[in-house]
Amino acid sequence: MVLVDAKGEAEIDENVEDFKGNPVDKSRTGGWLAAGLILGTELSERICVMGIAMNLVTYLVGDLHLSSSKSANTVTNFMGTLNLLGLLGGFVADARLGRYLTVAISASITALGVTLLTLATIIPSMRPPPCTDSRTQQCIEATGRQLVLLYAALYMTALGAGGIKSNVSGFGSDQFDTRDPKEEKSMIYFFNRFYFGISTGSLFAVTVLVYIQDNEGRAWGYGISAGTMVIAVAILLYGTRFYRFKKPQGSPLTIIWRVVLLAWKKRSLPHPSDPTFLNEYHNAEVSHTQKFRCLDKAAILDDYAAANGNRNNPWIVSTVTQVEEVKLVLKLIPIWSTCILFWTIYSQMNTFTIEQATFMNRHIGSFVVPSGSFSFFLFITILLFTSLNEKVFVPLARKLTHNNQGITSLQRIAVGLIFSAVAMVASALIEKHRREMAVNQNTQISAFWLVPQFFLVGAGEAFAYVGQLEFFIREAPEKMKSMSTGFFLSTLSMGYFVSSLLVSLVDKVTNGNWLRSNLDEAKLDNFYWILAVLAVLNFLVFLAFAAKHQYKVQLTTSSGREKELNIWNDGSIEDPEKNRSAKEKEGP
């Protein structure tokens, strides 16, 4: 961050330094070169993770002979854990290691995890006896002992990938000074190009890697992924001298815990007659607000807190800045909760949709398209709409709204939620048609009937992912940027876990009739209809929360003090401090 003095000249932020610990030279550090080297790590992470997740269900069902519901839950639990560990990665980066070290260590752990996964597919004793046709004969399911190495490899990969995902976008955005108009312009496009890049990695994974896994062997596919991550680590380390580093600001979770604890301890104290009596009110980096007033009690200067220099002890009294930062985090929770279901729907593209493809005609002439490669249509749609966002939708929205941001983050999320609901309707109709043709006419319809649901979910993700990532990074306190990215990733995590929960519940309630391993005897379309109804209800709740949300904008006054203003969804700006002063002058 850059502060502005009374003359309006930029000063170097003491929390930003180069790799030697010196103040940064903007001409030699940061910018697109540094960001590009950093995003190479996320590109490789996406190649590894998507190369695993998008084709893992076929390995679990076809080679390890696990049931359809158990295989789907294995995939969603893996992805859920991966994204949940993003919170841990964000915590470690903000509290101790910084984003650079966290990304470097996490990438190394990912490389080790994928290497172990390669070994799990090579060692014959890690697999049950082969089974030529699971539809006509009883196959022997993999035992717990045979699954140990597989699970160890998956969750080690999840640990490393979670650390990368929660920090790489924040570390990349650190390479741009948002107070510099030129770099601010680059920053606007950063998240779109970030997602375009990782979608390219995903596209490579579901075409080249999946083909290699199905035709040359899993060991070759996973081995290539491990090698890719090793190269990414080398590139990341090579670029060290080009990066801008932000010093860790301390554990954000500790700040949250302290504020909540102190507010509870002081719950019996009355609110001060004037908020200026709160601790460090006039030196606050964030303007005081009236929301969640119960937390203000953490900053009350009682006799004990004011005595003997106790006001500087954060375990005795919080500052207004700390209280307001916690309030900013709490403001994110309503939107966070309504983003979860999108990823529950998205997870079906990794599991049941891939299984559907195995029951459909996948021939193009004499060539048989691997089931996992149909995810190609998901990622090509993401690339298409990400490009359209940057080249068409955002510039058009800027002209219409005269807003530099164009499409707001919440508007992006809303569009994504709409696409997800329509996708589940299409999925239900297509699966019903597929099953009727298979049962009544003994005919396999073309697997390209799956393209509409991949297209709709992909278009939704192009809007929802960028919108959610931008929302959580921009709206969270500056000191909690890495944790806020982990907070965003937890929506993905919860989405996958909710999918596992729904699958388990539906499987139990229907006695396994809806989600059979043989989809011709199942009723998968009913499961899709449940998701479609939930998606519509979730969208309505999102609209209610979004209408009440105030965007955070941080400005710097002529005296050098930063203040945050509320930006309403209609574009109007509210200064809470100014409004409060006016009310105080008016009197009761």
Task: State the CB neighbour count (10 A cutoff) for residue 130.
Answer: 10
Tens-level pLDDT at each residue, the chain (588 residues): 344 444 444 455 567 777 776 777 777 787 788 888 888 888 889 888 888 888 888 888 878 888 878 888 888 899 889 888 888 888 888 778 888 899 999 999 999 999 999 998 888 888 888 876 655 567 788 888 888 899 999 999 999 998 898 888 888 878 887 677 777 667 767 766 777 777 788 888 888 888 898 888 888 989 999 999 999 999 999 988 888 888 777 667 788 888 999 889 888 888 888 888 887 777 777 777 888 888 888 888 877 777 767 777 888 888 888 888 888 888 888 999 999 999 999 999 888 898 899 899 999 888 888 888 888 898 888 888 877 877 777 777 777 766 666 678 898 899 999 999 999 999 999 999 999 999 888 888 999 999 999 999 999 998 898 888 888 888 877 767 666 776 787 888 899 999 999 999 998 898 888 888 788 888 999 999 999 999 999 999 999 999 888 777 543 333 334 444 444 444 344 444 444 444 444 443
Task: State the CB neighbour count (10 A cutoff) for residue 283.
Answer: 10
Query: What per-residue confidence (pLDDT) applies to 570?
Result: 40
Query: What per-residue confidence (pLDDT) applies to 407?
Result: 77
Dig out the tokens for 474 from the structure.
């921009």
Q: How far is residue 585 CA from its own chain's centroid?
A: 45
In 189-295, which ranges are E strands? Answer: 245-246
Query: What per-residue confidence (pLDDT) applies to 133?
Result: 62
User: Does the model's pTM come out above 0.85?
Assistant: no
| Letter string b/e over residues 66-98, b meaning 16 or more CB atoms within 10 A of that residue's CB | bbbbbbbbbbbbbbbbbbbbbbbbbbbbbbebb
Rounded Cα distance between 59 and 66, Å, is 9
Query: What per-residue confidence (pLDDT) applies to 134?
Result: 56
Query: What per-residue confidence (pLDDT) applies to 537?
Result: 97
Query: What per-residue confidence (pLDDT) applies to 539?
Result: 96
Concatenating the DSSP letter of every residue in 432-476 gives HHHHHHHHHS--PPBGGGGHHHHHHHHHHHHHHHHHHHHHHHHHS
Using an 8 Å Cβ cutoff, are 154 and 117 in contact? Answer: yes
Rounded Cα distance between 46 and 202, Å, is 6
Query: What per-residue confidence (pLDDT) applies to 313?
Result: 81
Residue type, 353: T
